Amino acid sequence: MRYFLSLMIVLAIAVPSSGADYSRAAFKHWSDLDGDCQDARQEALIAESLIPVTFETEKRCRVDTGLWVCPFTGMVFTDPGVLDVDHLVPLKEAWRSGADRLNPVELELYANYLEDANHLVVVWRSANRSKGAKDPSDWMPANRAYWQEYLRDWINVKWRWDLDSDPDEKEAISKLLSKAKEYVRGDKNPLDK
């Protein structure tokens, strides 16, 4: 628990921007930054599959099958067509939190970042759509056993990219971390009033 509380210290507090000037196109995503014909989405699918993936063609550019467990739900999948590669800290949330200060090269790197295995996460697309651009004060995964890891990774992504957190977000993360053991066991949601 001490580790999580020390992580909380690194979150800079700021009033988020409205995001009115946000454009998803500013984040050039699913780029093939290493030039191997597999874009960042395919690379994430390959990295997170629990078994060796198969490819659509001999060129090995697009994943055809694999085995993934969605950390948001705990559900198991073999078809990448029903999966999204989620930016753990969503693009719009990142923009509102300070990514608007990044240059175009940095924005593309953020959108395709593979150096941290928890920056891009393979999840069931329905779960990803329910999350949208929400932060932990408004949305948490249905899989309670993943909450501590989700929050740790959220904080790490924010810290790595020097992104701010708004007061509601930081308060929610603090409450969730302090009560994580109880909630993982199935007790009351610490965000409930």
pLDDT in tens, 129-154: 999 999 999 999 999 999 999 999 99
- Report which of residues 165 and 191 the model is more confident about: 165
Predicted local distance difference test score (pLDDT) of residue 17 = 55
Instruction: Using the Cα atoms of residue 150, residue 117, residue 81 and residue 75 in order, give the sign of their dihedral.
Output: negative
Give residue-wise pLDDT tens across range 69-89. 999 999 999 999 999 999 999
pTM of the model: 0.85
- Predicted pLDDT of residue 177: 85
What residues are paired with 121 via a beta bridge?
86
| Whole-number pLDDT of residue 5 | 47
- Tell me what pLDDT residue 67 has: 98
- Please give the structure tokens belonging to residue 60: 């090995």
DSSP 58-105: TT--SEEE--EE-TTT--EES-GGGEEEEESS-HHHHHHTTGGGS-HH
